[in-house]
Amino acid sequence: MASSETQPRFGQSVKGLLSDKVTSCSGDVIALTRQVLKGSRSQELLSQAARNMVIQEDAILHSEDSLRKMSIITTHLQYQQEAIQKNVEHSKYLQDQLKHLMK
């Protein structure tokens, strides 16, 4: 009879251990799920950051192109300014000659 008394106790202790293990595994599954979700969120954030970087890169390239064009325009305006200054100087010279002829 001693073995029949130990049998239920053994069965109950195994059930208790099994229940503890199931609870522990459930907690581990919940923790793992949280980590996977956190990793998924991190991946979403990284993807968004990469998309934003591509957008910024396009904006930077466009700005660089605009600056290059503005530099060319500035150079052309400087040439035009020099030409206008030469014409003004030549005009003053012609005015002086005209005045001298009118005397």
* 86 belongs to a structural domain: yes
Q: What is the DSSP secondary structure assignment for residue 1, as one 8-state letter?
A: -
Tokens of 42: 């991190």
* 95 belongs to a structural domain: yes
25-73 confidence digits (pLDDT tens): 888 888 888 888 787 888 888 889 999 998 999 999 999 999 999 999 9
Q: Give me the domain span that covers residue 22.
A: 14-102
* 19 belongs to a structural domain: yes
Confidence of residue 23 (pLDDT cuts 50, 70, 90): confident
* 39 belongs to a structural domain: yes
* 84 belongs to a structural domain: yes
* 3 belongs to a structural domain: no
Confidence of residue 85 (pLDDT cuts 50, 70, 90): very high
How many domains is the chain partitioned into structurally? 1
* Listed range (10-14, 38-42, 90-94) with the worst mean pLDDT: 10-14
* 53 belongs to a structural domain: yes
Tokens of 86: 């030469």
The pLDDT assigned to 2 comes to 47
* 2 belongs to a structural domain: no
